[in-house]
Amino acid sequence: MEKNKNIDKLTPEQYEVTQLCGTEPPFKNAYWDNKKDGIYVDIVSGEPLFSSTDKFDSGTGWPSFTKGIEKENITYHQETDRYQRVEVRSLNADSHLGHVFSDGPKEAGGQRYCINSASLRFIPKEDLASTGYGKYLILFKKSEV
């Protein structure tokens, strides 16, 4: 099954989060406090999802972003069971990523994508070209001027 080609390589926590809609603990995950330049891709499919240029400290203990870098790679699903909130998933792998809320920084559009680190793989800026994500280097050109 092509869309889930890396599913066998997931850790139990990555599987729980991405395939069973789980949530990892706040402040005890890989990327909540990551300040390095780079992009975040879906752990299953490698789809580009978020950039460190749109990451901010929301105080929640999970990585938070103001927007995605490839809008078509993120799908939205209204949840109505326990909470009234919007789930975000990756398009090709259909991985559960987290949720989007409307309490983000107003100056950046007001959205807060609250994402599980376990659903992501971080690609440092210096590795973008060698890992096939070279087109995203442009995101970091502004900050180097």
The per-residue pLDDT for 10 is 96
Residue 142 within any structural domain of the chain: no
Distance CA 119, CA 124 (A): 16
Would you give per-residue pLDDT tens digits along the chain (145 residues)? 345 668 889 999 999 999 999 999 999 999 999 999 999 999 999 999 999 999 999 999 999 999 999 999 999 999 877 777 899 999 999 999 999 999 999 999 999 999 999 999 999 999 999 999 999 999 998 655 4
Residue 132 within any structural domain of the chain: no
The per-residue pLDDT for 83 is 74
Residue 67 within any structural domain of the chain: yes
Q: Domain of 37: which CATH number?
A: 2.170.150.20
Q: pTM for the full model?
A: 0.92
Amino acid identity at 106: K
Residue 21: active-site member = no
The per-residue pLDDT for 1 is 31
Q: Which domain, by its residues, includes 116?
A: 2-127
Residue 83 within any structural domain of the chain: yes
Residue 134 within any structural domain of the chain: no
Structural domains in the chain (count): 1
73-110 b/e (C-beta count within 10 Å ≥ 16 → b): bbeeeeeeeeeeeebbbbbbbebbbbbbbeebeeeeee
Residue 123 within any structural domain of the chain: yes
Residue 68 within any structural domain of the chain: yes
Residue 136 within any structural domain of the chain: no
The per-residue pLDDT for 81 is 74
Kindly name the residue from 114, 118, 120, 123 that is annotated as catalytic: 114
